[in-house]
Structure 1
């Protein structure tokens, strides 16, 4: 956006603020003026009105800040000499905004929960495990005095070439537990070409995961590539050793790049609990079978997960002969729930927190609070922003600043949830409610990684405060519900079309890859239905791609559905509350109230209110149907297939 466009947008917001003022809606006016300043910090009228309004409200720190901006054309031009706050009437002297405010923060609720099973030092075992990693141990663990329990358990098994499911809490060292021994094997055994495929549960996390892996693998001479809908930098002529990708992109590679997969030795699945029980997890199950059947390779599977129920069932769906290793250790949590962001920031200053992440859900929110609220309580040169709309160079600069600066406060989005190395963080502030329990776990896990306690401040009132209290009380020690042992039949449609896109197949091929998932009778009904609709053709006992399927193009590799609005209904009254989009957690916020899902019906979610006594120690996610659901025969649209996990 050009400077002229930003000025025009700021002017529009300023006019809106003036209208709100005339009608007596002061809070709405302040919000409009703040949006104007966020668009164009040098907007004199908006800053002047903010100074006046904040003075009338008695918020003198903010009043002084905006008067400075009005007089000097924006924060960058404010003189460095100390100034007194401009006043229109007799008021108390305005304190310097860089000093800890004397006002006490409002704390709705605070709690400190000790680790359930605190990590214990085991020097002898640490020495033994480090000795197994002569080439890679220092790169992965050189900066740590001791290893984590999950690392002691997983490293020897992975070095032996076992299939492993590593289960532990957030920020407990699972990635290092898996990749240190894999990197050791890659070097010592001389793996060539593409050797490790890393499956990310979401596209949003891929870039961060890739950067995190590159940081530790590049010094070892191991290259990392990325392949998703946005970036495809995999070098086919000289393949990188590690590829970070999604199930959908792997699907496309199996169809058209089989020769690039011949050298794969290991498939790593990150946060498998986020995939298991969903149509994307079902798709990945079949892709692993196709790697063995179509590409003809033998490979190990290493998966990582938060604490889940029935882990042996989850493991069996993604790997043969699984070895499950679980760490009961973890960190405690100290959290504070405040009604406003200002209260959280005052608490942070009073408790000498010098490195803070403030998580927002949108770049606009991050920019707004960074340019206004954060600079009331911290020096302007210590405030940064980090979100996906910034250029890569700007994000890198912010990350370097967070690593090196003594005082740093960053308003950020999900781009800093995982993967990026920013050093130790004293406090995580949840300004916006995370979109899922998994996202909340990732965000709070950024706090105090080297300490025994996660430190969190959550901003919320009423039902939102109750939601935070319930989730934060249980998230470290609760379990994700075990996935239903069913299989989304829309995946069968998608996988049949994906397979046929690269060549003809016999019916026996599909009977094999869907063994123990789909009965012969159901599979025949699906194939017949697709033939009737011209999606597939049959000739001499061989099935091939039909004209209707060719019209789908690259859509056949993804079963991700569009957004689906679901009506939320309160169970006790039958009253509709509003709409939400799937996927949604089993506890969520709507209309300022926390709700717990009782059951999911067709386009409806039946809920009950969550009070402070609610048991939410188990977390689950409610998904929608896959994109190919409507192409199923009518008799299969209303049911899931029961898998027979061996």
Structure 2
């Protein structure tokens, strides 16, 4: 249910899947047909009967949602009957196969049938980003209004949903839904269905944990206001083909959730790679491509904001070029999107901000500067282009042979539908954040152990004892977030301050930022990390939004700049590298041709060894910790490689070392604990949680026994240098 641009689910459909579950893609105008589409065939007659039955059952929504189409898509046939029966459901299908209609139309039909009392908010759609919320609202507004109903947005930018006169449907983000639950809990008393859009962008992270707890909170509010006889909340989610759809459905839709996995054929991908060891070479390749075909529109994805700015600076004045990333102000990004939509022969350099959901028109080519972190991102990026062609064409710019291997491996995983994602247990830091939120929701301003535990997801509740919840609340009190009272805990000074600032509803960690404003107009053009701003001095130049900015004044609340020319430096701090899962790294290890337990070793400068461990981000850290304990001096630790002292050849861990390594990893001393919490996105309140709960969560998340077995089963294989 993303917008006109393909999300991960649509992108996955482009490439097909080995298991046959990945759906195909069409552009926004041409809908995919059934595989057995021969007119008059038995399958065609069966589908006609199914469509007729659904049409007769959907008196309110059929014509507003489906009247302009000749027939339903396989996605809609697979999901709509169950939704009309009230089933909770995970839909694995591409957007362009009609997923938006497949979810919303039957939910409206069931919970807002003709003649029903329109007496409150009934259906909530949760989307990961404000941009996706805006796009969903734009696409749904007309059919919803043709049903005689209303739909509004509630995000940090759009506060259309009013508690005293709510719409029938609402589109919101996790943070805004948390705010509504705090301030207007009764608003959710009439809600009968929740849709989590693009759930793969939330699953496995702090915001996904937050949504899972909030779904339980909505259930409790409904029962409290309408009695225990009220039916269960109908929970729906949308995603692409995933390694474990059953687990994803269980987490977000409940233990009884159904799966809708329509089988629709996809399109092949054509990946072309070019050698580009630096930004200058990447810019030259783009200039040459534009010279050969100046009318083609190219969307260029980079992994770092500084690369977007640097390449744009090298292209400016030679081709139409624009920049789109998270440090650019929202209004500026909207202008970029509109300009890119209109222009032909333009180049737009973007980070993940343009991966999903935004309408930027037809894109002829997707370029990837360096391999993205995972298959999901590769799918989203490559899938943004050539939507009307029989094949998907992507260009990968790679710095070396290893980057080329990674890029081609990602493409292979995409074709076969192997995402190598991972789901993690509920984070203590998110439970802590939800405890603070519950304090505000409660009319008495308190939270109790029982109230907190009862609002945890059903599959997580057994892991959280009364003692665990008590320890968590006490720890928050010691940190100033809460104050202990006789009948519970209420917000402390830190909690009150965050609530007043509107920051209480955020579960993930984010650096403090400062607005960048133009001198004279005061117009906000972007934001930078506070640390980066503090490093700038008056008159210094830097690039933001593809333009040079000269610092005029550094203040506490803003960086005042003037648009100028000349040379400048990058003002973006290095960010945490995205996590590479053990599954993806290990699959690349096998794809390259290494034996399962082999660790290729090569001698490098300084009398050290380069280990090609291919364990992924987390296992790389765990292996480095085990090697550090043996005084082997691991350095440059990454998801695929690290260097160690030469004596590692004789002192590498063996099977007999498993007990000692397990004991060390169970202890999780500093700095390993904090390094793992950072890589696994433990959440912004992690350090205010009890240490035993933090360690338990990490042990479960890293699969301690599996990690120890992996470390002790590695076998060094020395290779020739060069």
TM-score class normalised by the smaller sequence: 0.5 to 0.7
> Could you say which residue in structure 1 is the equivalent of 2:342?
401
Contact 2:365 2:394 in 1 (8 A): yes
2:455 equivalent in structure 1: 513
Query: After superposition, where does 1:138-537 map in structure 2 within 5 Å?
Result: 140=65, 147-168=72-93, 173-185=98-110, 188-189=113-114, 190=116, 191-203=118-130, 205-214=132-141, 217=144, 222-296=149-223, 298-320=232-254, 321-329=256-264, 330-339=266-275, 340=282, 343=285, 354=296, 356-359=298-301, 362=305, 364=309, 368=313, 371-372=316-317, 374=319, 389=329, 391=332, 394=335, 397-398=338-339, 401=342, 409-411=346-348, 413=350, 414-422=352-360, 424-431=362-369, 434=372, 437-450=375-388, 452-462=390-400, 463-481=402-420, 483-484=422-423, 486-502=425-441, 503-514=445-456, 515-533=461-479, 535-537=481-483
Structure-2 residue corresponding to 1:556? 504
Residues 199 and 270, structure 1, Cα contact 8 Å, conserved in 2: yes
TM-score by length of 2: 0.59
Q: Is the 1:314–1:483 Cα contact (8 Å) retained in structure 2?
A: no
Deviations 1:237-260 (A, max 9, x none): 432333222222211211111122
Structure 1 residue aligned with 2:639: 607
Contact kept? 1:344, 1:429, Cα under 8 Å: no
Q: 2:691 aligns with which of 614, 628, 634?
A: 634
Query: In structure 1, how many angstroms separate the alpha carbons of the residues matched to 2:453 and 2:689?
Result: 17
Alignment coverage as a number of residue pairs: 496
Deviation at 1:287, TM superposition (A): 0.9
Q: Assess if the C-alpha contact under 8 Å between 1:334 and 1:453 holds in 2.
A: yes
User: CA-to-partner distance for each residue in 1:279-312, whole Å, 9 max, x for gaps?
Assistant: 2222221111111113437421110112222322
- Unpaired segments of 5 or more residues in structure 2? 1-13, 25-33, 38-43, 227-231, 276-281, 513-528, 530-572, 589-611, 626-636, 643-677, 702-722
Q: CA 1:365–1:225 in structure 2 vs 1: closer, same or farther (change >3 Å)?
A: farther
Distance 1:594 1:579 in 2: 24
Secondary structure at the aligned position of 1:307 is classed as coil
**Change in 2 beyond 3 A, CA 1:626/1:452:** same
Which range is displaced more, 190-199 or 128-137? 128-137
Larger displacement relative to structure 2 (308-317 or 166-175): 166-175
CA distance in 1, matches of 2:235, 2:412: 33
State the secondary structure of the residue aligned to 2:171: strand
Q: CA deviation at 1:345?
A: 7.3
- Structure 1 length-normalised TM: 0.65
Aligned to 2:616: 597
Q: Could you say what secondary structure the match of 1:157 adopts?
A: helix
Distance in 1, Cα, partners of 2:177 & 2:156? 11
Report the alpha carbon displacement of residue 542 of structure 1 after superposing the two structures with TM.
3.8
Q: Deviations over 1:527-551 (max 9, x none)?
A: 3434455544454444433445334
1:48 aligns with: none
Q: CA deviation at 1:216?
A: 5.6
Partners of 2:98 and 2:74 in 1: CA distance: 9
Offset of residue 144 of structure 1? 6.2
- Say if 1:209 and 1:418, in contact at 8 Å, map to a contact too: no
Q: Retained in 2: the 8 A contact 1:344–1:457? A: no
Question: Which of 515, 530, 545 pairs up with 2:491?
Answer: 545
Deviations along 1:557-595, one digit per CA (max 9) or x if unpaired, are: 222113599xxxxxxxxxxxx986054343699xxx997
